[in-house]
Amino acid sequence: MTDLAKLTLVESIKHIKEKKCSASELVGAYIKRIEKSDKLNCFNTKDLENAHSKAKKIDTNQKLDKTLVGAPIAVKDLFCTKGVKTTASSKILSNFIPTYESTVTEKLWNEDAILIGKLNSDEFAMGSSNETSNFGNVLNPYRLNNQNLVPGGSSGGCASAVAADLTSATIGTDTGGSIRQPAAFTGIVGLKPTYGRCSRWGIVAFASSLDQAGPMTKDVKDAALMLDVISGYDEKDSTSAKKPKSSFLNSIKSNVKGLKVGIPKEYRVDNMPKEVDDLWKEGIKILKDNGAIIKDISLPHTKYALPTYYIIAPAEASSNLARYDGVKYGFRAEGKDLTEMYENTRSKGFGTEVKRRIMIGTYVLSSGYYDAYYLKAQKVRNLIKIDFDNAYKNVDVILTPTTPTPAFKFGENVDDPIAMYLNDIFTVTANLAGLPAISLPIKYNKDGLPLALQLFGKSFDEQTLLNTAYFIEQQVNFKSQVKDWWMS
């Protein structure tokens, strides 16, 4: 019998629709794995019993016509889920139970997907290794000589859960690379849609002008299907875009003939490992050999993207996180008066990295520094956007590596915030410019760790991105080598 948990999302749904298996059987297969996978620490909250009963209910349905019928899906613990604890992996929200459902998760359940739990992440999505979570590290299913590796971050729990077949697909959030970098580290597909493509309503905010929800899946078709479901205009989010869309999955085409692919020279950074450089060349070759037109392009302000990001994101975060004050919900530490209660609550409720970013954000917005930092960053952000506008006059997509290195060991970068921030060096530009980008696993390095390439698309042109990624995926034929070592 097929191992149901190994099926892709598209295959699982086909199984259910064709009655090759029941929703209960599919959910059961995942639950069986989840129950043996605590060592990975992917879940902040499991919702297995409810998942079981919802699957049973679906099995009694006459029609199994919903798009995600019976698919067991865990989501990043940043999406508010009605009646299910939502913590943002922070102590300050450790007991928060929303009375409402985020727009994007609502869309999943409306299509008969089944919530099986909430996935670990960096605290408030601030991190690149999942080491800042209040609920402990998430392990990458891939190891280096039996040593544990980080899954990447901030959607680390999502990435490991998909790679370890603990969820049939998931949605994460990407503010500076938080979907794509962990996807790259765990050998899965991660798509950050265009800013405004998916509603932010009901997602714990980190940096509002950069945050975007997106799919993390076993393959490209799954990503297209998930995007079909979660995208769309939402009148509750003023930054949500009124763009027409058809089905990304149904429109997917495996063809790159005549596709103009830009290769930005600024992404060839110092100290880039040879294996990453080779990977990039391989990607270029595949596209070229199949009729794509390769063009060298320049995105001259690329090196200013990270500094820009580390002004804008903390500035917005310092304001977005002001609501966590021990009054309306969440953790409270007492104090003799209101101010002391605030200071104690926020000091004990937030972790080190979150506090660091709130402090930096507060500083760059404070009187006397606003122009030098925040306003300056807003201007450079425009320059970065203009870089892409110019590039897209000549190319359809842009190809780069997703990350400068494969997954690393725990503790490797924790003492040096800048070293950690460099993880996002190839991914942040998409957030600053609001563009869609996808990370696609390509191959394994000599140590058996996944390596990934990234494609940037034009604004609201996720389709070309998906088409190109789908084509490459078929060429490279990347197969999971996860060995279930953590299971007892």
Partner 1 sequence: MSINKDTIKKISKLARISVTNEETDRLEKDLNSILKFVEQLKKLNTDKITPIASVSDQLLTMSEDEVKKINEKKEILQNAPDKNTNYYIVPKVIE
Partner 2 sequence: MSDKEFNYYISGETGKWEVVIGLEVHAQVSSNAKLFSSSSTKFGSEPNSQVSLIDAAMPGMLPVINKFCVEQAVRTGLGLKAKINLLSVFDRKNYFYADLPQGYQISQFKHPIVGEGEVILDMPYGTKKIGIERLHLEQDAGKSLHDQDPTKTFIDLNRSGVALMEIVSKPDLRSPEEVAEYIKKLRSIMRYLGTCDGNMEEGSLRADVNVSVRKIGSKEFGTRCEIKNVNSIKFMQQAIQYEAKRQVELLEDGKKIDQETRLFDTKNNETRQMRSKEDAHDYRYFPDPDLPPLKFEQTFVDQIKKKLPELPDDKKERLIKDYKLSNYEAGVLISDKDTSDYFEDVAKNSDVKLAINWVIGDLFAALNKIGKSIKESPISSKNLSKLIQLIKNNTISGRIAKEVFELMINDNRDPKVIVEEKGLVQESNVDELEKIIEKVLKDNSEKVAEYKSGKDKLFGFFVGSVIKESKGKANPALVNDILKKKLS
Q: Is 311 helix (H, G, I), strand (E, B) or coil?
A: helix
Burial class (CB in 10 A: 0-12, 13-18, 19+), 343: middle
* Chain center to CA of 471: 22
Residue 66 designated active-site: no
DSSP type of residue 322: G
**Binding-residue total with partner 2 (CB under 8 A):** 44
Give me the least distance between CB of 385 and partner 1, in Å please.
6
User: Is-cis flag, bond preceding 319, omega within 30?
Assistant: no
Q: What is the distance between the alpha carbons of residues 131 and 486, in angstroms, rounded to a whole number? A: 19
**Active site includes 281?**
no
Minimum distance, C-beta of residue 236 to partner 2, in the bound complex (Å)? 6
Closest of 192, 169, 165, 216 to residue 67, by C-alpha: 169
Told to judge if 366 belongs to the known catalytic residues of this protein, a careful annotator would answer no
Residues between 207 and 226 that touch partner 2 (CB under 8 A)? 207-209
Q: How far apart are CA 155 and CA 3, in angstroms?
A: 26
**Helix, coil or strand: residue 181:** helix
As measured in angstroms, the least distance from the Cβ of 237 to partner 1 is 9
Token pair listed for 487: 């299971």
DSSP state of 144: B
Phi–psi pair at 315, nearest 5 degrees: -60, -50
Which does residue 319 touch among partner 2, partner 1, none (CB within 5 to 8 A, set by kind)? partner 2
Which of 46, 76, 192, 221 is catalytic? The answer is 76
Q: Please identify, using beta-carbon distances, which residue of 11 and 325 lies nearer to partner 2.
A: 325
Task: Determine, following the binding rule CB under 8 A, whether residue 316 of this chain makes contact with partner 2.
Answer: yes
- Decide which of partner 2, partner 1, none touches 142; Cβ closer than 5 to 8 Å per partner kind: none
Amino acid at position 393, single letter? K
Residue pair 48/34 in contact (Cβ under 8 Å)? The answer is yes
Letters for 188-207 (x = contact with partner 2 by CB under 8 A, - = none) are: ------------xxxxxx-x
- Name which of 373 and 478 has its Cβ closer to partner 1: 373
CB of 229 to partner 2, least distance (A): 19
266 binds partner 2 (CB under 8 A): no
Backbone torsions φ then ψ of 211, nearest 5 degrees: -60, 135
Residue (12 or 102) nearer to partner 2, CB: 102
Q: Which does 97 bind (CB under 5 to 8 A by kind): partner 2, partner 1, none?
A: partner 1
Helix (H, G, I), strand (E, B) or coil at 76: strand
User: How far does Cα 252 stand from its chain's mean position?
Assistant: 21
Residue 110 touches partner 2, criterion: CB under 8 A: no
Query: CB burial class (10 A; 0-12, 13-18, 19+) of residue 109?
Result: middle
Return the number of the residue (248 or 374) whose C-beta is nearest partner 2.
374
Of the candidate residues 77, 122, 228, 325, the single one contacting partner 2 (CB under 8 A)? 325
Q: Give me the least distance between CB of 326 and partner 2, in Å please.
A: 10
The one catalytic residue in 102, 168, 178, 199 is: 178
Instruction: Pick one of 97, 245, 260, 329: the residue that binds partner 2 (CB under 8 A).
Output: 329
Sheet holding 114-119, edge to edge: 43-46, 114-119, 72-76
Considering only CA atoms, which of 114, 32, 37, 21 is closest in space to residue 482? 37
Q: Which x/- pattern over 342-381 shows residues binding partner 2 (rule: CB under 8 A)?
A: x-------------------x--xxx--x---x-------
**Backbone dihedral region for residue 34 (phi beyond 0: left; psi -120 to 50: alpha; all else: beta):** alpha
Q: Which is nearer to partner 2, 328 or 446 (CB)?
A: 328
By beta-carbon proximity to partner 1, the closer residue of 443 and 458 is 458
* Binding residues for partner 2 (CB under 8 A): 79-80, 86, 88, 93, 96, 98-100, 102, 200-205, 207-209, 235-239, 315-316, 318-319, 321-323, 325, 327-329, 338-339, 342, 362, 365-367, 370, 374
**Which are the catalytic amino acids?**
76, 154, 178
